[in-house]
Structure 1
Amino acid sequence: MDNQNKNLLIATALSFVVILVWFVLFPPPEATVDETAPTTEQTLETAPGVTAPSAASDAPATTSAATAAPEAALDTARVEIDAPALIGSIALTGGRIDELSLRNYHETNDESSPVVQLLEPVGGANPYYAVYGWAPGNGLQAADVPGPNTVWSVESGETLGVDSPVTLRWDSPSGLIFRRAFTVDEKFMFRVTQSVENTSGNEVSAAPYGILARHGEPSDLKNFFVLHEGAISMTDGTLAENKYKKIRDFDPAAEAGTRAETYQVSENGWIGFTEHYWETVLIPDSGTSYRQAIKYNEARDIYQAEIVLPTQTIAPGATAEVSTRMYSGAKVWEVINEYQDQGVDRFVDSIDWGWFFFLTKPIFWLLHHLHQWIGNMGVSIIALTIFLKALLFPLAYKSYVSMAKMKELQPQMEEMKKKAGDDRQKLQQEMMALYKREKVNPASGCLPILLQIPIFFSLYKVIFVAFELRHAPFFGPFQDLSAPDPTSLFNLFGLLPWAAPEAGTTLALVFIGILPILLGISMFLQQKLNPTPTDPAQAMIFAWMPWVFMFMLGGFASGLVLYWITNNTITFTQQYLIMRSHGAKPDVFGNIKSTFKRKPKDAKSDGK
């Protein structure tokens, strides 16, 4: 390989290192909340909080009866939610789902740790809830429809469960009877049916809506470039992802102090907020035409995802009814895929597959089925890496054969350099003639490597975002492949009964774990298949690169590090065997010795 190709590879590697170092050392700043901003209770009568949409037009409107969230939301009367996968409650004030936890998932790998909480009432640390209601149309005023502060009564049911629905009721002063019926399945899906019975004697109209309201950004926001966190929506087959920062930069909406982006859905869609492993999404039934929007209230620091269904006209004595679903739970591929099969359009796209979705989806599918067959996620990652390396072996073979041929020509190329001296043009002409005569393409060794990059980046993406790796055990101390290596010199690599230093701290960099060490060694050995470059700058870069990666990736998920170790080991083995089959005899141990061999003083002074 000539100097140009070497420089290309070095530049590519250095660019990757710089990007990783930048995001590790200088992550995006976390959002700050203005502690002096008025609270919900302070602005109950004066400022909009959760804003109800308008039934009259597509433009959102502030309605006085649907302003801020209710006071004492934590203390309001509640209906308990008790389902196989979900626990929580519905607040009768507002008739909202605002307290929801995942029964089977804990915050840490310790079963005694608290379960994961998704939705939280106003008054908690991170209020996040689902609000439903009706926007008044012809013949109605704001006081005639239920709003976020309306106190509902229980008409039927005591506890919301799989076989026990709950119906709430509110009688309007204008003679309308509003009902809100809740059901929940054995996993993470609610169905909310809103109805209005017109006993007023006059024809009226109103538009049903649903809102997910989130006060501020999530406290555990990761802000990592490879992961999407924020609003997510599907509009007739078009996926839209908006991070919280982007939402704050939306164009101003019709209502003062609010920014919004609106989508008109013809047949199929859904909208909500997604996190690393969890999501809450509002889902109208397929075939429904409706409006959905993402909003940000600047004064209150509230993010909203809303759906507004077509206005219903209710004749005297008639009843109008609208039903929608809400998914609030873990992003388990098997569960989400099942709901997609039941009619939720492209629901698996709520998982962050990234730009290379055409690769990440099949790669995850294979990992999922390997895990079902093997039963151990760590072994499944190793098996998947082996399979992909075998699949790409023809490309790798061409690359390594090209490198072997270039290595055979190395003595002739060195002789040409000596004869050409400083005449670069002459050297280039002679090398091109040599390549032509020997039928060698110097770029053929690089192209197969470049073609493999999207595939291995996709595998990296899958291992990082897949929920299935969360708290997935490998063996021994490695009981959570989504967490950093729990071993370190600090606890004698898991032999002592105390935890390793927390990832990201100075101690964690000093007392590094066994997996990052194996990663550094595997990169170092792979590098030593070839002699140390004669150029001092290149030699220094190659010498430091394995250990830079070792420390940088030390805080990454152990499943990712396991993948890198497996990939490096297979690459080393493939390259070694192919080079041997073409007559080359890699002197790995000799190259290692030369790395630590001290140079003579005169060689140092000459820069050799």
Structure 2
Amino acid sequence: MDNRNLLLAVLLSGLLILGWDVGMRYFYPEAALTAEATEGKPAGANAAPAVSGDIGADTQAGRKIDLKAALASPNRVEIDTPRLAGSINLVGARIDDIVLKDYRETVKKDSGPVRLFAPEGTAGQYFAEFGFVTGGMRQPSNLLWQADGTKLTPTTPVTLTRTDANGIIYRVRFAIDKNYMITASQSATNAGAAAAIIQPFALIKRTSKTATIDQFATHSGPVGVFNDTLWDPHSYAELAEIGGENPEGAPDWLGFVDQYWLGALVPGDGRGDVAVDKAGFRSLGNDLFRTDLLYAAKTVAAGGSLTQETRLFAGAKESAVLDQYEESGITNFGLAISWGWFWFFEKPILWLLRTLNGLVSNFGVAIILLTVIIRGLMFPIAQKGFASMAAMKAVQPKMKEIQERFKDDKQRQQQEIMKLYKDEKVNPLSGCLPMLIQIPVFFALYKVLVLAIEMRHEPFMLWIKDLSAPDPAHILNLFGMLPYDVPGFLAIGPLAVLLGITMWLTFKLNPSAMDPVQQQMFAIMPWILMFVMAPFAAGLLLYWVTSNLLTVAQQSYLYSQHPQLKAANAKEKAERDRKKTQG
């Protein structure tokens, strides 16, 4: 019977190992993260028809354009700040060229900066557009605007101007700060003879082909805050299925988020107090998506004017920077990072991680030190749980005696057991409570390592050049010496092996389970986890290995303080082995 159960467990484990890789590729197809990596791939074709409340269909959808050719156009105004570079496209008043100076595409020293925005029609298309709807008609996106300057910098704003056939003068004044925020002041002056109904709009359009995968720990896709509440229920695939959605409530900000990057529109001051007609998200088909911000219509009399301010965030999800913008008035802007329920643990942990990295100048060492500090802080809780476990072991003989004596009277049996707990001052729940307290803390630590952009492209030592990427060394091709790529589910590196070994050691030191099948599962579980965890970021594996080693040290010390618990476990194991031999 035990052999059959073990065989079944091994077969299920094998299916898990094989199915994990296949399932991840099916449900979360790996997306290229850069425009360079996707150059030459189909960029998506015709936009979907306009829906109710939409600002109209795009006029240039379906065109396939080479990135270099698009950026070589003379109709561009340069953008240059300490952290951003790029250009404004005078055709359509679009910001469609943004690279992040502080972040490289790859770990290679000669790698170019991360490209966030790219022109429409290119493989990595992702851009923002600012314009007007007049008399119910959206201005075409192929109109040429005139600029009053040649470079947008934190000290030199640029104003784009265009006049339509009715004499209405449209202006978009762009200003930019030293981080990632661009302010677009849209104004319309009616120099014509008749009143006009005018609505400023702003939009962000992108392809999902260059998006990071949407996963449990970090959201990738449409995101926003409406009526002070975070809205991020859909992945790109889900949005494509439903077609579009206008979340309820006034928009504080809205856009698209990746694991490390964000493109978002902020109406007015970001407090949801601007009159907005429509704000929502659209699937345009062919892996193209758009977020729309259409302001309320205003009647502008002859000689009158209107002005509307919209901010555009295009940059990295740096917690400190997002918090600064939130403190300046943008409601819950820091929630662009997928903190989840345990944000009150995660933010202090991230601060400590950044501080440690500043002290030791090695992010891997900082992860090790952070793990040691947190485990040290949790040690009194673990010690209390272990002491409770030892006390429960001590009273087990008396419990068995009560259970045998009152086996036909369950109510009396429970009463006597509760009396035993009271007399011996034992709380059966006190062993579980410390473990429950630790769970949110350690989960918060895990999430910080997933979310922290500070870990991206950070080296540790030897072969680990990027802690945010999987371990690049694979045992089955002799660490790259053999000329073939190891299949995903067999791509086991040294860190994954260390994880398996240290996990096995922690299970060996755990109190023995009474069920033989549980024992067999505990024996093979570390090696299953070795395969399952291998594709995770090296920084996460480093944390788990360090945590396991600390667990081994902690359990060894606690067993030395409670020898009766170790003796009880040994006695149980001997009794189980005796019964197994006799059976």
TM-score normalised per structure 1: 0.78
Do structure 1's residue 468 and structure 2's residue 468 form an aligned pair? no
Q: How does 1:289-308 map to 2 (within 5 A)?
A: 289-291=274-276, 292-297=278-283, 299=285, 301-308=287-294
AA aligned opposite 1:225: F
Rounded Cα–Cα distance in structure 1 between residues aligned with 2:381 and 2:215: 31
Tell me, in whole angstroms, the C-alpha distance in 2 between the residues paired with 1:62 and 1:346.
27
Q: Does 1:26 align with 2:23?
A: yes
Question: What is the rounded CA distance, in whole Å, between the counterparts of 2:119 and 2:317 in structure 1?
Answer: 22
Aligned equivalent of 2:342: 356
Map Cα deviations across residues 381-420 of structure 1 (whole Å, 9 max, x no partner).
2222223223333321221002222344566678889x78
Q: Secondary structure at the match of 1:442?
A: coil
Aligned counterpart, 1:537 = 517
Which of 1 and 2 has higher RCO (CA within 8 Å, sep 6+)? 2
Partner of 1:146: 139
| Worse-superposed segment, 107-116 or 428-437 | 428-437
The alignment status of 1:272 with 2:258, answered yes or no, reads: no
Q: Distance in 1 between matches of 2:161 and 2:392?
A: 80
Question: Which residue identity is paired with 1:239?
Answer: L
Deviations 1:150-176 (A, max 9, x none): 222x33112333333332222201111
Separation of aligned partners in 2, 1:513 and 1:310: 57
In structure 1, the residue matched to 2:181 is 189
Does the CA contact (< 8 Å) of 1:360 and 1:461 recur in 2? yes
Q: Corresponding residue for 1:6? A: none
Go from structure 1 to structure 2 and tell me whether the alpha carbon gap of 1:67 and 1:465 turns closer, same or farther (over 3 Å shift).
same
Is the CA contact (8 Å cut-off) linking 1:212 and 1:304 kept in structure 2? Answer: yes
Deviations 1:180-199 (A, max 9, x none): 22232332221222222221
SS at match of 1:403: helix
1:283 corresponds to which of 233, 243, 266: 266
2:484 and 2:259 map into 1 onto residues whose CA distance is 24
Q: Decide whether the 8 Å contact of 2:44 with 2:288 is kept in 1.
A: no
Q: Retained in 2: the 8 A contact 1:416–1:427?
A: no
Q: Which of residues 213, 219, 231 is equivalent to 1:228? A: 219
Q: In structure 2, how many angstroms separate the alpha carbons of the residues matched to 1:269 and 1:68?
A: 29
> Which one-letter code corresponds to 1:343 in the other structure?
G
Partners in 1 of 2:555 and 2:397 — Cα distance? 21
Are the aligned partners of 1:420 and 1:427 in contact in 2 as well (CA < 8 Å)?
Answer: no
Give how far 1:463 is off: 0.9
> CA shift at 1:232, angstroms?
0.9
Measure the CA separation in 2 of the matches of 1:205 and 1:414: 84
Q: Secondary structure at the match of 1:443?
A: coil
Equivalence map 1:320-331=2 (5 Å): 320-331=306-317
User: What SS does the corresponding residue of 2:355 show, helix, strand or coil?
Assistant: helix
Q: CA deviation at 1:326?
A: 0.5
Do the aligned residues in 2 keep the contact of 1:146 with 1:170 (CA within 8 Å)? no
* Contact in 1 for aligned 2:368/2:542 (Cα 8 Å): yes
Q: Structure 1 residues 151, 604: closer, same or farther in 2, change over 3 A?
A: farther
Identify the residue that residue 199 of structure 2 maps to in structure 1. Answer: 207
Within 5 Å, which residues of 2 pair with 1:79-228?
A: 79-137=77-135, 142=137, 146-152=139-145, 154-215=146-207, 217-228=208-219
The residue number in structure 1 matching 2:37 is: none
* Corresponding residue of 1:554: 534
Secondary structure (helix, strand or coil) at the match of 1:566 reads helix
Q: CA RMSD in A?
A: 3.9
Residue 282 of structure 1 aligns to which amino acid in structure 2? L
Q: Secondary structure at the match of 1:222?
A: coil
SS at match of 1:560: helix
Match of 1:240 in 2: 231
Bigger drift between 128-137 and 370-379 goes to 370-379
AA aligned to 1:572 is: V
- Is the contact made by 1:525 and 1:572 (CA closer than 8 Å) also made in structure 2? yes
Cross-structure match for 2:4? none
Name stretches of at least 5 consecutive residues in structure 1 with no aligned partner.
Answer: 1-14, 54-58, 251-257
| 8 A contact 2:43–2:125 mirrored in 1 | no
Match of 2:9 in 1: none
Task: Say whether the 8 Å CA contact 2:559–2:565 is kept in structure 1.
Answer: yes
Q: What's the secondary structure of 2:209's corresponding residue? A: coil
- When the two structures are superposed, what TM-score results if normalisation uses the length of structure 2? 0.81
Aligned AA (2:529): F
Tell me by how many angstroms 1:431 deviates. 6.4
Equivalences for 1:424-439 in 2 at 5 Å?
Answer: 435=421, 437-439=423-425
State how far apart, in whole Å, the 1-side matches of 2:142 and 2:320 are: 38
The Cα of 1:468 is off from its aligned counterpart by 1.3
Q: Which amino acid aligns with 1:477?
A: W
Contact 1:420 1:426 in 2 (8 A): no
Structure 2 CA distance for partners of 1:572 and 1:38, relative to 1, 3 Å: closer
* Residues in 1 aligned to 2:485 and 2:393: alpha-carbon distance in whole angstroms: 45
Mapped to 2, the partners of 1:424 and 1:24 lie a distance apart of 52
- How many percent identity over aligned positions? 36
Q: Secondary structure at the match of 1:109?
A: coil
| 1:327 Cα deviation from its structure 2 partner | 0.7
User: Are the counterparts in 2 of residues 490 and 500 from structure 1 also a CA contact under 8 Å?
Assistant: no
Shift of 1:229: 0.8
C-alpha distance in 2, partners of 1:133/1:499?
54
